[in-house]
Amino acid sequence: RYQIMAGGAMNEIVRALAALLLALLPTACSAPADAPARPPLQGARIGGPFTLVDQDGRTVTDRSFAGKYRIVYFGYTFCPDVCPTELQTMTSALDLLGPLAEKVAPLFITVDPERDTVPVMADYVKLFGPRLVGLTGSPAQVAAAARAYRVYFAKSTPKETSEYLMDHSSFLYLMGPDGRFRALFRQGTSAQELADSIRARLSAAS
Ligand code: NI
């Protein structure tokens, strides 16, 4: 009996330590501290033309979303934490917008086209409801899109036995129906803040 209890207590301690370690690990999602500060640079041009492939295998460009606002997020499906959280924020914000959400296209652009093939993207975006558009493409297409949005990304050195992660900047971009940059939201912005900001812009525009 004593041994069973000790074992249980030990498991508790191990779990607590594991949780603490996880909390202390740097996120693989955000740019390292020494990475050059990217957006929001005053006057920097953010956004521009892109040609990518959606989760149904169709070629899409920035013009495919003409007339709609877009929320754009760059990340990757293998991301353990930040990407899913930010994508959840994005889709929750659209839920909060109600019918106004029809005017907004939520776009998730991968920075990991090597693993994020069309079928992988198709399975992944489904996890966030019916609206999210997943975009991948050739490494050159993805790099061009990331460059246009001033997105930093780099493969992080894989440990011997584990798969590589991607370091990447983590911002939500709001683009207007004309495809021009409107606003940038930092990681950790709540769905409510995001929804309020989009709603304000939508009503100002109408
Ligand atoms: Ni990520």
Span 13-69, pLDDT tens digits: 444 444 444 433 344 555 444 444 444 444 568 999 999 999 999 999 999 999 999
Gap from CA of 69 to ligand 1 centroid (Å): 23
Ligand 1 centroid–CA 102 distance in Å is 26
User: Residue 168 — pLDDT band, cuts 50, 70, 90?
Assistant: very high
Predicted TM-score of the model (pTM): 0.80
Phi, psi of 121 (to 5 degrees): -65, -40
171-175: strand order across its sheet: 59-61, 51-54, 133-136, 104-110, 69-75, 171-175, 181-186
Place of tokens 């776009």: 107
Degrees to nearest 5, angle at CA 89 with 39 and 135 = 70
User: Rounded distance, CA 146 to CA 99, Å?
Assistant: 30
Residue among 115, 118, 91 at smallest CA distance from 195: 91
- Look over the chain and give the mean of its residue pLDDT values, rounded to a whole number: 84
Q: Compute, in angstroms, the gap from residue 167 CA to the centroid of ligand 1.
A: 7
Residue type, 137: G
| CA dist list (Å): 26 to 55, 83, 86, 203 | 30, 14, 17, 39
SS3 (DSSP) at 149: coil
The SS3 call for residue 70 is strand
Ligand 1 centroid to Cα of residue 1, in Å, is 45
Distance of CA 129 from the midpoint of ligand 1 (Å): 19
Q: How far is the CA of 77 from the centre of ligand 1 (A)?
A: 8
The percent of residues in the chain predicted with pLDDT above 70, rounded, is 78
150: which residues sit within 8 A by CB, 6+ positions away?
38, 39, 41, 44, 46, 169
Parallel/antiparallel/unpaired status of strands 69-75 and 104-110: parallel
Distance 122 CA to ligand 1 centre (A): 17
- C-alpha neighbours within 13 Å on the C-beta side of residue 26: 10
Ligand 1 centroid – CA 206 distance (Å)? 34
pLDDT, one tens digit per residue, over 131-164 is: 999 999 999 999 999 999 999 999 987 777 678 9
Give every CB contact of residue 2 below 8 A, 6+ residues apart in sequence: none
- Whose tokens are 């460009």? That residue is 61
Which pair of tokens denotes residue 66? Answer: 């003409």
Q: What amino acid is encoded at 178 in this protein?
A: D
Interval between CA 199 and ligand 1 midpoint (Å): 26
Buried b / exposed e along 15-32 (16+ C-beta atoms within 10 A):
eeeeeeeeeeeeebbbbe
**Residue 46 alpha carbon to ligand 1 centre in Å:** 20
